[in-house]
Amino acid sequence: MKNIVYFDLETRRSAAAVGGWHETAKMGMSVGVTFSTALNAYSIYTEDRAADLINQLQQADLVVGYNHINFDYGVLQPFTFWTVSEMTHNLDICLYLSERLGHRLRLDAVARPTLGGCTKTAEGTDALQWWSEYVKSKDPQRLLDIAKYCCYDVKVTMAVHQFGVKNGYVLYIDKNSKETKIDVDWMDDWEG
């Protein structure tokens, strides 16, 4: 059985605070979360354990995320000499769909119709607020809030991926608010 690692992270700083979306390396990681199919378990990482997170991603047979190549890997880049995307085998669902549709979709626009109404539990801006509150108060509950939110995003990404593998398609909400089907070929990445 292949080790599929589903992955997401949240940042310490917003794009606006660091000078734009092209400055992901300056955003810092508040919490990173993975789910490993080999371990059948979630792992939660804080920034001081970024090297451990990168190691887990590097050892995976496949890393599956949503916009992780263009965003999350940029956030992790300061913690390694090597280019993270070059030392991992990846399926970025956002990138995969964007290349076929010609525009980017939010995770919710795919998850909600594909998974029968399943939605994200919060937004990235909420995670930034919780990080700010944690920095001020040192209340571990704020870090737990970020971890729970990030774990749920990993769970949703995993469910979308597994639906696509099983069915050969996913659904999305198009620009006209219409539910639309798109065929996906993720079986090779799943079975290897």
Domain containing 64 equals 4-191
| E-only strand ranges, 3-61 | 4-11, 29-36, 41-45
What does the pLDDT profile of the chain (192 residues) look like in tens digits?
A: 799 999 999 999 999 999 999 999 999 999 999 999 999 999 999 999 999 999 999 999 999 999 999 999 999 999 999 999 999 999 999 999 999 999 999 999 999 999 987 766 667 789 999 999 999 999 999 999 999 999 999 999 999 999 999 999 999 999 899 999 999 999 754 443
**Predicted TM-score (pTM) above 0.85:** yes
Q: How far is CA 177 from CA 45, 108, 113, 174, 180, in A?
A: 36, 13, 11, 5, 9
Smallest Cα–Cα separation from 113: which of 177, 175, 179? 179
Total domains in the fold of the chain = 1
The tens digit of pLDDT for each residue in 34-71 reads: 999 999 999 999 999 999 999 999 999 999 999 999 99
Query: What interhelical angle do 140-167 and 93-101 show, nearest 10?
Result: 50
For the domain that residue 51 is a member of, what is the CATH number? 3.30.420.10
Give dist(CA 72, CA 66) in Å, integer: 9
The pLDDT of residue 113 is 96
Using alpha carbons only, what angle is made at residue 131 by residues 78 and 20, rounded to the nearest 5 degrees? Answer: 50
The pLDDT of residue 160 is 97
Query: What interhelical angle do 93-101 and 107-114 show, nearest 10?
Result: 90
